[in-house]
Amino acid sequence: MSTHSTLSRSALSRFAVGTAAMAAVVALMSLMSLMSLSACGLQGGFSDIGRNCIDAGDCDAETLGCVLVDEEAPTGDRICFPPPEEWTCTGKFFGDGACDCGCGLVDLDCPNALGSSCASDGNKCPAGQEPVAADNTSCQ
C-alpha cells in the first residue's frame, strides 16, 4: 500500500466523520427549530401569527395584537403578532380598534398619547386609577 493511498483513505475517513458530524449538527438545529416553533404555537398551523388583520378581533389568540407591518405607514398592512415588550396589557387589546390606555405603550388605535383619547372602555389601569392626562401609557 502506498503512502498516497493511505493518506487518501485517512482523508476520506476524516471527511466521512466531518460529514457525519455536520449532518448531526444540522439535524439537531432542525429539531431545536421545530421545538421552538411548537413552543410558540406555530407548528401545524394552529396560530394566527403573521395572518393579515384589520383589528385584534381578527386574531384568535388572546396574546396577539393586530400590529403594523411598517410603523412608518400607520394606515398600512397589519398582521396578527405579539405586541411589543413594552405593552403590559393583554395582547388582544393592542390594535383591537379601540384606544386602550394604561398599557405601558401608546396603542396603535390612539390618535395621540393624551388620556382624553382613550376609548370609553379603554381604561386598562388598575381599579380606581385613570390614565395620566398627558401620557396615556401610565396610570395615576
pLDDT tens digit sequence for 25-74: 444 444 444 444 444 444 333 467 888 988 878 888 888 888 888 878 77
Chain segment 60-84, per-residue pLDDT in tens: 888 888 888 887 877 788 889 888 8
Answer positive or negative: Cα dihedral of 30, 36, 39, 43: negative
Say which DSSP state 52 is in: B
> What is the per-residue pLDDT for 67?
82
Claim: this prediction has a pTM higher than 0.85:
no
> Do residues 81 and 67 make contact, with C-beta atoms less than 8 angstroms apart?
yes
Alpha helices in the chain (DSSP H): 3-39
Domain-wise residue ranges, the chain: 3-45
Question: Average pLDDT over the chain, rounded to whole?
Answer: 74
> What is the per-residue pLDDT for 47?
65
